Amino acid sequence: MPEKQTLVMKFGGTSVGSVDALMKVTQIVKDARIEYARVVVITSAMSGVTNLLLDSAALASQGKVDSLPKAESSLREKHFAAADALIMDEELREATKSEINSLIFSLIDLCKAIAVLGEASPRVLDTVASIGERMCIRLLGAILESAGVNAKAIESTGFIVTNAHFQHAHPDFKVTTEKTRKLLNPLLENNIIPVTTGFIGATPEGVITTLGRGGSDYSAAIIGAVLPADDVWIWTDVDGIMTTDPRIVKGARTLSEITYSEVAELAYYGANVLHPKTIRPVVDAGIGLRICNTFNPSHPGTRLIANVPSDSQARNGQVVKAVTAIRNQRLVTIEGRGMLGVPGVAARAFGAVASTKTSVPLITQASSEQSICFAVPSESAISVINALQAVFASEIEDEDIDRVWMTEDVSIITVVGVGMRHTPGVAGQVFTQLGNNKANVLAIAQGSSEVSISMVVAAVDTELAVRSLHELIVK
């Protein structure tokens, strides 16, 4: 009998993106059953599918439906090729293809309706985006079944209950806990592996919602937390969380372990391994999380561990652990001597930013209160500037605010390490390193947690800054 009870495994788009990848997933699931009595599998859409679905909807909203036959053919070919190669039983294979075909037809119908209306609401876009996962669970469930694994495809819309904030829905954990246990436990008790959709849920009325792009990780954490599971494993196409982007630094390496607070900073600041919301349900439930490579399953990957005292990491030489970069940002500055001591300027400024539905990843303000500076994604910068100028129109006219302006493209570079906390001289090392390598810092921010320091540099200095700071990581 396996010693451990429940394992939740999530497979990303590249992990289920081809016949070869799906064969690897099948073997990974088989191996997991040796160690765990109860296994839940969560899958993303096949790689490239969600983008194709949303692109089709976007074109349809412009009245362009000429590309629909090509999209239909592409989806059918991608899924059917895997079904033909890996589902041996003819009846099961044809039934699976028929179900996938029905979902493809539903996409075509949705896109035609979008074209007639001339727009796609967030609610409709969630339904469109969900189709990739809904096709993939049927495909993967049948492939596992064909390989002798007792599996059943089940849509997470039946048990992950969310609010109606389409495209970024938030789960109702109380109801989700009840429904998840009610639906999944009977399957698990009968040695059936539920194969379910990541990324999607549904309102109490059953309307499909999504948890945001990359939300399949979040789905795994939710399901792992509410069952509860002993472990959650996120299967992707890299060996784990790396010290930095290996495309920038060839010497980047996989971290064997990382604390919850560190990975939360990395997920927020651009390390494209975990959805930023994934961490909280896992931390709250006190369960294990591991990042693994589908294409190198023997690699131990990265294990998330509880936050440890920072001085113990500092003593071990683990001060700076990773360096990340968020590109395509603009710095927006509101400045004027008339701002000094005036209450509510920041509140009005960020209210204006919020009205454009823009997220602010970095804020800095000097104690003189004569300027506020913050970063926004480049594509949102113009709308943010316009909103700020409208909100502060009278102050600009009275010259209490001199100007509202933005930079050209910049990048946010963040160094992360729990050992930085209470370790003297880390900031000095960081800025000396950048200065020695002629990388100019435009703005700085550090939270009170002291787990990270973020700096803004010009876009052209991004790779130079990352390479320079990566040298601070202990070899």
pLDDT digits (tens), the chain, 475 positions: 455 699 999 999 999 999 999 999 999 999 999 999 999 999 999 999 999 999 999 999 999 999 999 999 999 999 999 999 999 999 999 999 999 999 999 999 999 999 999 999 999 999 999 999 999 999 999 999 999 999 999 999 999 999 999 999 999 999 999 999 999 999 999 999 999 999 999 999 999 999 987 789 999 999 999 999 999 999 999 899 889 988 899 989 999 998 888 887 887 666 666 776 887 898 888 888 999 999 999 999 999 887 655 444 444 456 788 999 999 999 999 998 877 767 788 899 999 999 999 989 999 876 656 889 999 999 999 999 999 999 999 989 988 899 999 999 999 999 998 878 777 788 888 999 999 999 999 999 886 667 889 999 999 999 999 999 999 885 4
Is 3.30.2130.10 the CATH classification of the domain at 309-475? yes
How many C-beta atoms lie closer than 10 Å to residue 400's C-beta? 16
Instruction: Identify the burial level of 331 via C-beta atoms within 10 angstroms of its C-beta, where 0-12 means exposed, 13-18 middle and 19 or more buried.
Output: buried
| Domain-wise residue ranges, the chain | 4-237, 309-475
Domains 4-237 and 309-475 are alike in CATH topology = no
Predicted confidence at residue 367, as pLDDT, reads 62
Q: Give φ, ψ of 305 to 5 degrees.
A: -125, 160
Predicted confidence at residue 280, as pLDDT, reads 82
Residue 102 identity: S
The span from the CA of 218 to the CA of 8, in Å, is 12
Write out the chain in H/E/C secondary structure: CCCEEEEEEEECCHHHCCHHHHHHHHHHHHHHHHHEEEEEEEECCCCCHHHHHHHHHHHHHCCCCCCHHHHHHHHHHHHHHHHHHHCCCHHHHHHHHHHHHHHHHHHHHHHHHHHHHCCCCHHHHHHHHHHHHHHHHHHHHHHHHHCCCCEEEECHHHCCEECCCCCCCCECHHHHHHHHHHHHHHHHHCCCEEEEECCEEECCCCCEEECCCCCHHHHHHHHHHHCCCCEEEEEECCCCCECCCCCCCCCCCECCEEEHHHHHHHHHCCCCCCCHHHHHHHHHHCCEEEEEECCCCCCCCEEEECCCCHHHHHHCCCCCCEEEEEEEEEEEEEECHHHCCCCCHHHHHHHHHHHCCCCCCEEEECCCCCEEEEEEEHHHHHHHHHHHHHHCHHHHHCCCCCEEEECCCEEEEEEECHHHCCCCCHHHHHHHHHHHCCCCEEEEEECCCCCEEEEEEEHHHHHHHHHHHHCCCCC
From 259, 326, 317, 325, select the one nearest 473 (Cα to Cα): 317
Q: How far is CA 441 from the centre of its chain?
A: 28
Predicted confidence at residue 117, as pLDDT, reads 93
**In sequence order, which residues have a C-beta less than 8 Å from that of residue 116 and are 6 or more positions away?**
none
CB 49 within 8 A of CB 57: no
CATH number, domain 4-237: 3.40.1160.10
Predicted confidence at residue 308, as pLDDT, reads 58
Place of tokens 């810092």: 441
CB 135 within 8 A of CB 103: yes
Predicted confidence at residue 1, as pLDDT, reads 47
- Predicted model pTM: 0.85
